[in-house]
Structure 1
Amino acid sequence: MFLKSFSRFSKNMSVFVQKLNPLTGHNDWVIQNEDYDYHQEVARSAFADMLHDTERNRLYEKALKVAIDKIHSLGKKALVLDIGTGTGLLSMMAVRQGADKVTACEAFKPMGQCALKIIELNGFKDCIRVVSKRSTELTVGPNGDLSEKCNILVTEVFDTELIGEGALATFDHAHKYLLEKECVVVPDNATIYAQVVECPLAQNWNKLKDIYNDDSEILLKIPQSIKNCAGSAAVHDIQLSQLPLNSFNTIIPPTPVLRFDWSGKTPFIYERSTINTLKSQLDGTAQMVFMWWELQMDINGDHLLSCAPFWAHPNKQTLPWRDHWMQAVYYLPQEVKVKKDQELHLISCHDEYSLWFNLTTDLKLTKTDYLNPVCNCGLHIAFSRTRIGQLNDSKRNKKYLRILEDNITPQTVVLFLSDGFHYGLVASKLGAKKVYFLDTNLLSRRVLKEFINYNNIENAIVLEKAEDLKSVDLKTVSIVFGEPYFTSTILPWDNLLFLYLRDSIKAILNENVQIFPKKCIVKAVAVKFDDLHKIREPLGECEGFKMKNFDDLIQESSNISDDDVEAQPLWEYPAVALSNEVIIAEIDLLTEHRSILEAQGNVKLEKNLPCNGLALWVEWSLDDTPKGTVTTGPTESIEIGKKIQWDMYTRQGVCLFTSKLAQTLQYHFTFDFKDGNITFKCT
Structure 2
Amino acid sequence: MMAARAMANVGDEKEGRVSACESYLPMVKLMRRVLHANGMENKVRLFPKRSDEIRVGCELDSRADLMVSEILDSELLGEGLIPTLQHAHDELLVPNPQMIPYRATTYGQLVESSFLRKLCDLHNQEISASDGIQLSPVTTHSLISLKPKQYAMQCDALSSEIKLLSEPFKVFEFDFWKRPESNRETEITVQATNEGTVHAIISWWVLQLDEAGSIFYSTAPKWINSQYITNSISGKDWCDHWKQCVWFIHDTGLPTLRGENVSIRASHNDISISYGTTPEVNKDNSSFLKWYEERIITLLPERIGIYGDRNWRMSYITAIRNILNRSSSPLCVVADDSVFLTVLLSSLSESSNVIASFPGLKDNGAQYIKAVSASNGFSSDRVRVLDTKISSFSEFERKIDILVGEPFYYGNEGMLPWQNLHFWRERSLLNPALAEDALVVPGKGILKICAMSLPDLWRSRCSLKDVEGFDHSSVNETLGACGNLPEMQQGPCLPFYLWQCGEIEELSQVYQPMDFNFSKPIHSCLGKLQMKFLKPGLCHGFAIWIDWVLDERSSNIVSTGPDSRYWKQGVQLLSVPQPVNSTSASYAEVEAYFDHLTGELSIKSSFS
Question: TM-score over 0.5 for the alignment?
Answer: yes
The equivalent residue for 1:291 is 203
Whether contact under 8 Å (1:196, 1:251) holds in the other structure is yes
1:487 aligns with 2:415: no
Whether contact under 8 Å (1:616, 1:652) holds in the other structure is yes
The equivalent residue for 1:279 is 191
2:512 to 569, 576, 583: 583
1:199 to 100, 113, 124: 113
3-state SS of the aligned residue for 2:98?
Answer: strand
3-state SS of the aligned residue for 1:253?
Answer: coil
1:390 to 306, 316, 333: 306
Residue 405 of structure 1, CA deviation = 4.6
TM-score with structure 1 setting the length: 0.73
Structure 2 distance, partners of 1:202, 1:620, is 25
Structure 2 distance, partners of 1:667, 1:166, is 44
3-state SS of the aligned residue for 1:448?
Answer: helix
Amino acid at match of 1:337: L
Query: 295-304 vs 309-318, which deviates more?
Result: 309-318
Residue 236 of structure 1, CA deviation = 1.4
Structure 1 distance, partners of 2:80, 2:570, is 32
1:327 aligns with 2:267: no
1:543 to 468, 472, 479: 468
Q: List gaps (5 residues or longer) in structure 1.
A: 1-87, 636-646
The equivalent residue for 1:69 is none
Structure 2 distance, partners of 1:504, 1:259, is 55
The equivalent residue for 1:436 is 354
Residue 349 of structure 1, CA deviation = 0.6
Residue 191 of structure 1, CA deviation = 0.7
Residue 411 of structure 1, CA deviation = 6.4
Query: 132-141 vs 520-529, which deviates more?
Result: 132-141
3-state SS of the aligned residue for 1:389?
Answer: helix
Structure 2 distance, partners of 1:522, 1:296, is 47
3-state SS of the aligned residue for 1:175?
Answer: helix
The equivalent residue for 2:268 is 350
Structure 1 distance, partners of 2:284, 2:133, is 38
Structure 1 distance, partners of 2:249, 2:52, is 36
Structure 2 distance, partners of 1:323, 1:385, is 19
Whether contact under 8 Å (2:547, 2:560) holds in the other structure is yes
Whether contact under 8 Å (2:342, 2:356) holds in the other structure is no
Q: Deviations over 1:50-74 (max 9, x none)?
A: xxxxxxxxxxxxxxxxxxxxxxxxx
Whether contact under 8 Å (2:142, 2:294) holds in the other structure is no
Query: 250-259 vs 174-183, which deviates more?
Result: 174-183
1:658 to 556, 559, 575: 575
The equivalent residue for 1:677 is 599
Q: Deviations over 1:622-673 (max 9, x none)?
A: 23368512111132xxxxxxxxxxx211121222343332666555434455
1:599 aligns with 2:599: no
**Equivalent residues, number:** 572
The equivalent residue for 1:208 is 122
Residue 579 of structure 1, CA deviation = 2.9
1:241 to 128, 153, 156: 156
Going from structure 1 to structure 2, the CA distance change for 1:503 and 1:525 (only over 3 Å counts) comes to same
The equivalent residue for 2:68 is 154
3-state SS of the aligned residue for 2:168?
Answer: strand
- Where do 1:79-158 residues align within 5 Å? 88-89=1-2, 91-92=4-5, 95-96=8-9, 101-102=15-16, 103-108=18-23, 109-122=25-38, 124=40, 127-140=43-56, 145-158=59-72
- Where do 1:617-656 residues align within 5 Å? 617-624=545-552, 627-635=555-563, 647-656=564-573
The equivalent residue for 1:307 is 219
Whether contact under 8 Å (1:205, 1:389) holds in the other structure is yes
Q: List gaps (5 residues or longer) in structure 2.
A: 227-231, 580-585
Residue 362 of structure 1, CA deviation = 9.7
Whether contact under 8 Å (1:667, 1:680) holds in the other structure is no
Q: Which has the higher contact order (CA 8 A, sep 6+)?
A: 1
Whether contact under 8 Å (2:120, 2:145) holds in the other structure is no
3-state SS of the aligned residue for 1:419?
Answer: coil
Calculate the aligned-residue CA RMSD, in Å.
3.8
TM-score with structure 2 setting the length: 0.81
Whether contact under 8 Å (1:287, 1:335) holds in the other structure is yes
1:420 to 329, 338, 354: 338
Going from structure 1 to structure 2, the CA distance change for 1:271 and 1:396 (only over 3 Å counts) comes to same
The equivalent residue for 2:317 is 401
Residue 228 of structure 1, CA deviation = 6.9
Whether contact under 8 Å (1:118, 1:549) holds in the other structure is yes
Structure 2 distance, partners of 1:518, 1:288, is 38
Structure 1 distance, partners of 2:156, 2:567, is 19
Identity over aligned residues, as a percent?
A: 22
Structure 2 distance, partners of 1:631, 1:444, is 26
Residue 360 of structure 1, CA deviation = 0.5
Structure 2 distance, partners of 1:466, 1:549, is 43
